[in-house]
Amino acid sequence: MPKRRRDLDFRGNLQAEVMSAIWKLGEGTVEDVRQQQAQRRRSAYTTIQTVMNRLVERGLLTRRRRGNAYVYRAEYDEGAYLARTIGDRLADASPEARRSALVNLVESLEPGERQEVARYARRIRRTRSKRD
């Protein structure tokens, strides 16, 4: 599972750019992705091909042959990628670093605390509804 989480991270601007182009296109060839780039900074065909093949190896893209070319498609839609929690994205950092980088309203429940909090939640809800 941790491997999968790491695989879902983009490791460079070009990878992010390729993924963004594929999400926009739905599916596309290397040339289609190149056409999405601004002309003055368009990457070489082989560069994009290498990046896309690497994304296939990492499970972010799938490909199928159509004629002489491969057509690539995203394995996850953009929403699913973005829906990962911020906690997941910071999971690689040490606990101290994670807690210091983002101070949450509630960090985490201690073992066995869930029921006690649920009991409080019911009590607070009752009191608030009476008050209102």
Q: How far is the CB of 29 from another protein (least distance, A)?
A: 27
CB 71 within 8 A of CB 64: yes
Sign of CA dihedral 26, 66, 46, 4: positive
Orientation angle between helical segments 13-25 and 45-57, nearest 10 degrees: 80
Residues 56-115, interacting with another protein (CB under 8 A): 82-83, 85-87, 89-90, 92-94, 96-115
Q: Is 35 in the site for another protein (CB under 8 A)?
A: no
Q: How far is the CB of 68 from another protein (least distance, A)?
A: 36
Name which of 81, 74, 101, 79 is nearest 90 in CA terms: 101
Nearer to another protein, 24 or 125 (CB): 125
Alpha-carbon separation of residue 111 from 56, 98, 117 (angstroms): 40, 20, 12
Nearer to another protein, 57 or 116 (CB): 116
Q: What are the residues binding another protein (CB under 8 A)?
A: 82-83, 85-87, 89-90, 92-94, 96-118, 120-121, 123-125, 127-128, 131
